[in-house]
Amino acid sequence: MITRRGLVAAGAGVLLAGCGADDEPVAPDARLLAPVLAAEAALVEAYERVPGRLGRALAARASAHAERLRAAGAAPGPAGAATAGGDPLEAALALQRRSMAACVAAVGVVSEPARRALVADVLTGGAEHAAILLTRLGRDPLPTAFPDGREA
């Protein structure tokens, strides 16, 4: 009898069989952390456009997050998303939400506990940064229960 599990396992086997070996294999967790690292690197640039002490402080925190991710073995990801023109606070908030979404996606699938804790820490810091930005923009700093800003 053919089951869904059997079909999924067979499909995964076919996909894996078709994958060629890389010159330098990257650990699965390193690949899973790559989007988070790319988002944090983009945030450094976005926060550097925010004027004053706030911009410098948030850029330093995002830079520290990126360094911790690199130290944890995060693979370099694609270039971070470019920020849109306009208000630097709005652009930084949009990128911060993308970073938090990347963290939410990674935290459940990263296998090594210390790396999972790191992603959760970056997510927590991101939620704090988003609340600060929302307050500066004169909006509710806690508009939703979801850390990446989405609605229920």
Return per-residue pLDDT of the chain as tens, 152 residues: 555 444 344 444 434 444 444 455 556 899 999 999 999 999 999 999 999 999 999 999 999 999 999 999 999 876 655 555 689 999 999 999 999 999 999 998 999 999 999 999 999 999 999 999 999 999 988 877 776 666 65
Using CA atoms, how far residue 117 sits from 22, 75, 96, in Å, is 28, 17, 19
**Of residues 112, 109, 127, 124, the one with CA closest to residue 73:** 112
pTM recorded for the entire structure: 0.74
- Angstrom distance (rounded) from CA 99 to CA 77: 13
- pLDDT value, residue 8: 42
3-state secondary structure (DSSP) of residue 122 = helix
- pLDDT value, residue 79: 64
Using an 8 Å Cβ cutoff, are 142 and 131 in contact?
A: yes
CA atoms lying within 13 Å on the CB side of residue 110: 27
**Of residues 29, 38, 39, 32, the one with CA closest to residue 99:** 39
91-125: string of b/e by CB count within 10 Å (b at 16+)? Answer: bbbbbbbbbbbbbbebbeebebeebbebbbebbeb
- Angstrom distance (rounded) from CA 46 to CA 32: 23
